[in-house]
Every structure is written in structure tokens, then in C-alpha cells.
Amino acid sequence: MSVTSRHSRIIRLACGALALCVSLSAAAGERQSGGPYVPTPPAIVDAMLDLARVGPRDFVVDLGSGDGRIVLAAAQKYRASGFGVDIDAELVDQSNAAARRLGVTDRVRFRQQDMFATDVSRATVLTLYLLPSMMQSLQPKLLKELQPGTRIVSHDFDFGDWKPDRKIEVQTPEKYDTSGAWVSTVNLWIVPAAIDGAWSGEGGAFRLSIKQRYQRFEGSVTRNGQTARLRGGRIEGTRIRFAAPRGDGAGRELYTGTVKDARIAGEVRGEGSAVVARWSATRVR
């Protein structure tokens, strides 16, 4: 059997067995499990922290933190702060002992807690190595609690229809206690600001109607009773951009802006023009 098919088989077996546990637990009204303890290999920990560009100002949260290796590496190598939670008390004790050994207890902490009962709103970087079903279940909580611009990095598994902003492959010589040529995936999402709804341009000059789907949006702009479609709508954290036909119909205008609470403010220029004007809009719905 090739290494790749052996890898796929191990993942399928693990996921199959765990999916059964998850449905049995759910049926019994118990907490949902993100899966058993399987550590992320060091090369993948480094790739996750690099892809998220972790630095000293970051607060890194690992949900299902195992032996604490991701938060500990963030604190040791990048001087970040943060915490990890795990349901396994022994792993939590082991993680706090490692934090003491490494002299980082002033910046990191581990506690025994169900990840669904964990407030993640302080995270600037959130790390995950969990079963696909758990990723899906967590997604609404993360979109609700995390600030726009927060980076989420995952090892191997993703959020289904919420596609990552970036994705890289990392080769590792060892995984699941088995040596070989393993190829792992590291995904990065940047939590987008929530802009779905209706916005009114300053002084009522125009109206934007936005239909958002994660980091992309479509919609329309209405000016002087004329409605035209927006094109290429993208959101990266709090930064948005889109194109709209000019009011006089001659070419397009390119809008960029920053979302803050119920206001978007930024710049607009005609395509191919260096002339820049300011624009802003407030949420009306």
C-alpha cells in the first residue's frame, strides 16, 4: 500500500470510529468530542504559527490543546501569550508543568474545559487540530465570538464550505507514531467582518445592499434611482474591496474601505485613474 493511501486509510478509520463515538455521545446528551489526543508534529506546529504570522502581541488559543505544544511554542519562539483548553485533565496538568519548566507561566495557561464552554473572544490567533465534524460544529461559535481579523489555523481539517484564505502543504517524516513521507495540510482563515445588510452612503448619496458569504460578497449599489451590481466583493478581516459601475456609466470605480462597528470608510477611484476620493457608509439594516 502506498504511503498516501495508508495515510488516507488511517484518517478514514480514525474519523469513522470517532464519528460513531460522536453520534453515540450526542445521542446520550454528552459533550461533543473533537477526537482523541493525537499530537501535531513539531514541523507542522511551526508551519501553523508561521502561516498565522504569530508575534509578541498575539494571544494564541488552542481548542483541544493536548500536551500544550502549540501554545507553548508560540510563547517560547514568538513571545506570544495565550491559553489552551482540553477535556483531558492529565494532558492539562502536563501542559502546565511544561509551561513552568519553560518559564512561560506569566504568559500561558492551560485549563480543563469543554471547548464549547470556552470564551475565545480574546484570541488574535486560534489553532485547531480537531475532527471535521467538530470543526463544523465550532464554526458558528467562532464566527460569532472572534473579532474580525483574527487568524484561525488548522492542521489537516477544514470548515467545509468556508474555504480557507490560504492553504499550504507540509512534509513530515513522522505522523501517528509512524514514519514515512507524510504530507499534511495547514489552513489559514482570516475572520471576516460581518457586513451583510443595507448601508447608506454619507449624506444619502448612495445605498449599498450586501449579501455576504464568508470572505466574499455580492450585492448592488443604488444611486439616483439606478441600481447596478457590485463586482469582486472581498473581505479580509476588516478590510473590504469591490468594484461598481460609475454613476455616469463610463467605466468602473474601485472601492476599498475599513469596517468599524456600523460604519465603513475608505477610498474610491476610477479604474485607471490616480484621483482618489473618500467615501463612507453607515449600516441601516
Ligand X SMILES: C[S@@+](CC[C@H](N)C(=O)[O-])C[C@H]1O[C@@H](n2cnc3c(N)ncnc32)[C@H](O)[C@@H]1O
Residue 39 contacts ligand X per CB under 6 A: yes
- Minimum CB–partner distance for residue 105 and ligand X (Å): 19
Q: How far is CA 207 from CA 71, 213, 220, 256, in A?
A: 44, 20, 8, 16
Of 112 and 121, which has the nearer Cβ to ligand X?
112
Residue-wise burial string across 228-259, b where 16 or more C-beta atoms lie within 10 A, e elsewhere: eebeebebebbbbebbbbeeeeeebbbbbbeb
Judged by CB under 6 A, which stretch of 62-70, 136-144, 173-181, 247-255 contacts ligand X?
A: 62-70
Indicate which single residue of 37, 162, 176, 214 sits in contact with ligand X (rule: CB under 6 A).
37
Judged by CB under 6 A, which stretch of 38-46, 179-187, 198-206, 226-234 contacts ligand X?
A: 38-46
- Minimum CB–partner distance for residue 53 and ligand X (Å): 19
Exposed, middle or buried, 6 (CB in 10 Å: 0-12/13-18/19+)? middle
Q: Provide CB contacts within 8 A for 27, sequence distance 6+.
A: none
Residue facing ligand X at closest CB distance: 64
- Minimum CB–partner distance for residue 48 and ligand X (Å): 8
Q: What grid cell was written down for 153?
A: 489555523
Of 22 and 240, which has the nearer Cβ to ligand X?
22
Residue 126 contacts ligand X per CB under 6 A: no
Q: Are 210 and 196 spatial neighbours (Cβ–Cβ below 8 Å)?
A: yes
Q: Are 197 and 210 spatial neighbours (Cβ–Cβ below 8 Å)?
A: yes
The interaxial angle of helices 132-145 and 3-27, nearest 10 deg, is: 70
Residue 91 contacts ligand X per CB under 6 A: yes
Of residues 240-279, those binding ligand X (CB under 6 A): none
Q: Provide CB contacts within 8 A for 28, sequence distance 6+.
A: none
Residue found under cell 517560547: 76
Indicate which single residue of 40, 95, 133, 238 sits in contact with ligand X (rule: CB under 6 A).
40
- Minimum CB–partner distance for residue 124 and ligand X (Å): 18
Of residues 96-115, those binding ligand X (CB under 6 A): 114-115
Of 62 and 165, which has the nearer Cβ to ligand X?
62
Pairing of strands 178-190, 166-175: antiparallel
State the residues that interact with ligand X by CB under 6 A. Answer: 31-35, 37-40, 62, 64-66, 69-70, 85-88, 91, 114-115, 129-130, 155
